[in-house]
Amino acid sequence: MNYIELLAQLLKGLGTTLRLIAVSAPLGLLLGIAVGFSNVYAPRPIRGLAILYRSVLRGVPLVLQLFVLYYVLPRAGILLQPFAAATLAFALCSGAYHSEYIRSALLSIPPGQMEAARALGMSRFTAIRSILLPQALRRALPGCGNEFTYLIKYSSLAYLVTLVDITGAGRLQAYASFRFFEVFVYVGVFYLALVGIARSGLHVLQRRWRRSSGGLH
């Protein structure tokens, strides 16, 4: 087996994986924030839709979500490119989990803060944006950080929709050389490095937020 060629192909796959994460991670977080706030503060019909979204996307396996977006939707005339299908699936799934962390963080904030903000003349939107959102994000950071590392790992499913990410590149090299063990050891090292870097960055961010809040959570 040509290890230089293997490394070159895995690095190409790494580029695809990083692009997937760079797009789906912020989309998932923004969706999670919107759904999390809807679960707590939206009118009842919207709250019901948010609960339904969270329940379905957390209950249905990600593999099935990928298959529906890439293989089933074309039968209804909706054709998604592999990158778009994978990004949408990862963002929707990640957003469902983020929403639960945000919802729990919001429920941990004393309701008197909203009442005090409204008494000072703030609109509901301004109070949420200026007072509740920063606190919710700080409290939800550990859970949302874990979800980000999970996203790195389950991005390995992108090969199921024909994307040549790290896993897809490794799979092609393994079938070409029949050296499955060696190839997937290298693949595992790539994912281990990505997760390690992400966890280190999240640890630094959490420590800075803790300092900025005077050690309060």
CATH classification at residue 21: 1.10.3720.10
In a domain, 150, yes or no: yes
For residue 80, give the 3-state DSSP assignment. Answer: coil
Q: What is the pTM of this model?
A: 0.89
Give me the tens of pLDDT residue by residue for the chain, a chain 217 residues long. 678 888 999 999 999 999 999 999 999 999 999 999 999 888 999 999 999 999 999 999 999 999 999 999 999 999 999 999 999 999 999 999 999 999 999 988 888 888 888 888 888 788 888 888 888 888 898 899 999 999 999 999 999 999 999 999 999 999 988 889 999 999 999 999 999 999 999 888 888 877 766 554 4
Task: Give me the domain span that covers residue 118.
Answer: 3-212
217 in any annotated domain: no
Question: What confidence score (pLDDT) does residue 62 get?
Answer: 94
pLDDT at 212: 67
Let me know if residue 112 belongs to a domain: yes
Counted domains in the chain: 1
Q: pLDDT value at position 124?
A: 79
